[in-house]
Structure 1
Amino acid sequence: MPHITVNPALPGIVGLFDYRPETARPLSELAEILLRGPSTLTRGERELIAAVVSRGNDCVFCASAHEAFAAAQIEGGMSTVEQATRDYEKAPISGKLKALLKIALLTRDDGRKVDAVSVAAAKAAGASETEIHDTVLIAAAFCMFNRYVDGLATQMPASPASFAERAKRVVEHGYVEVE
């Protein structure tokens, strides 16, 4: 049961955004920029970073949502996403993405754990400084989103299939709702 009174028909972060629209807007805009804005990383790769961090934080709502969003946009779909969230080093993804996921998980644990060795490995795998920057920012932002969702004990949707339906809307329209 949520710690605050939110619309029970709106699970997870959706209910929190409905509760405080004035904070929802900038948070949605941040997600839009990080996950869908211009980047040399694909939208699916960025969603996978969010999913892996959220799964690592045991945030079931965010992990489930972003796994669905990544699966809708990444080669190999949900199979690739499940492999990456289980053991990214063995997943059928590029060496560059593996190196970036390592940086994302180090950021998740403690940003100070991101070291010159992991950054050099990402660069050697082809990652640009902007991609490294964006990976750290996605990981840090999703730690915040995960704690927001779990800290207020939000609810899961009644049907897990709703994540796939939401993924269709996010892929088509993004994170900032049309007013």
Structure 2
Amino acid sequence: MPHIALPEGLPGIRGAMAFRPETAKPLNELVEILLLGPSTLTPAERELIATYVSYLNDCHYCQSAHGAIAAAHLNGDEDLVKQVKADFHYAAISEKLKTLLVIAGKVQRGGKNVTAEDIADARSVGATDREIHDTVLIAAAFCMYNRYVDGLGTTQPQDEALYRERGKQVARDGYISVSKTYLPTEALAR
């Protein structure tokens, strides 16, 4: 049960965002840019970073939601998402993404844990400064999103089918477009 009176029927961050739509707008814009905006990292790779950080933070809603979005970008490959969460070192992902996940994991523990060696390792397998920057920002942002969801005690369904359907919708339509289904029109216009 949520710690405050959030709108009924909107689990996780969706309820929190509907409660305070003026803050939802910039939060949705940020996630849209980070996870779906122009980048040399694919949307699937960026969603895997968000999923992994959410997994480390033990945020069921966010790891399930973003894992489902990642799987949708990966033609339904839910097993790969599970492998990344369990031990990405053995997952069928690029060496570059593995080094970026190391960085993301260190950011999750605390930004000062990222070392010059971590950055050099990422660069040695082709990561650009922009990709490193975006990985750090995705990891930091998802620590905030995870704490927002869990700090309010939001409703977090256990039914994976709900996340799967929402994941397909977000992968297809984006965060801002999908947020229109639960935010008042006047909040989206701001």
Normalised TM-score (structure 2): 0.91
C-alpha distance in structure 2 between counterparts of 1:98 and 1:64, whole Å: 20
Q: Does 1:24 align with 2:27?
A: no
Cα drift, residue 77 of structure 1: 1.3
Aligned to 2:103: 103
CA distance 1:158–1:95, change in 2 (3 Å): closer
CA offsets 1:77-121 (integer angstroms, 9 cap, x no match): 111110010001111100000000000000000100111000000
Runs of 5+ in structure 1 lacking a partner?
A: none
1:66 Cα offset (Å): 0.6
Pick which of 47-56 and 159-168 moved more.
Answer: 159-168
Secondary structure class of the residue paired with 1:168: helix
| 1:74 partnered with 2:59 | no
Alignment identity in percent?
A: 55
Q: Does the 8 A contact of 1:45 with 1:74 survive in 2? A: no
Using the alignment, how far apart are the partners of 1:84 and 1:160 within structure 2?
17
How has the CA–CA distance of structure 1 residues 62 and 15 changed in structure 2, closer, same or farther, with 3 Å as cutoff?
same
The residue number in structure 1 matching 2:94 is: 94
Give the letter aligned to residue 8 of structure 1: E
1:113 is matched with which residue?
113
Q: Which residue of 1 aligns with 2:151?
A: 151
Tell me the residue number matched to 1:169. 169
Offset of 1:168 from its aligned partner?
1.5
The runs of 4+ residues in structure 1 deviating greater than 6 Å are none
Corresponding position: 1:7 with 2:15: no
Displacement of 1:169: 1.3
Q: Which residue is 2:38 aligned to?
A: 38
Structure 2: 5+ residue stretches without partners: 186-190
Q: Shift of the alpha carbon at 1:172?
A: 1.4
Provide the rounded CA distance (Å) in 2 between the counterparts of 1:47 and 1:157.
20
Question: Structure 2 CA distance, aligned partners of 1:27 and 1:134?
Answer: 16
Alpha-carbon distance in structure 2 between the residues aligned to 1:85 and 1:141? 18
Distance in 2 (CA, whole Å) between partners of 1:17 and 1:110 is 26
Q: List per-residue Cα deviations over 1:44-84 (Å, max 9, x = no partner).
A: 00000000000000001100101101111136711111001
Superposed displacement of residue 159, structure 1: 3.2
Distance 1:148 1:17 in 2: 10
Name the CA distance, whole Å, in 2 between partners of 1:82 and 1:63: 10
For normalisation by structure 1, the TM-score amounts to: 0.97
Number of residues of Structure 1 aligned to a counterpart in Structure 2: 179
Cα pair 1:57 1:146 within 8 Å, conserved: yes
- Structure 1 equivalent of residue 133 of structure 2: 133
2:96/2:122 contact within 8 Å kept: yes
2:188 aligned residue? none
After superposition, the Cα gap between the structure-2 partners of 1:93 and 1:75, relative to the gap in structure 1 and judged at 3 Å, is farther
Distance 1:156 1:93, change over 3 A: same
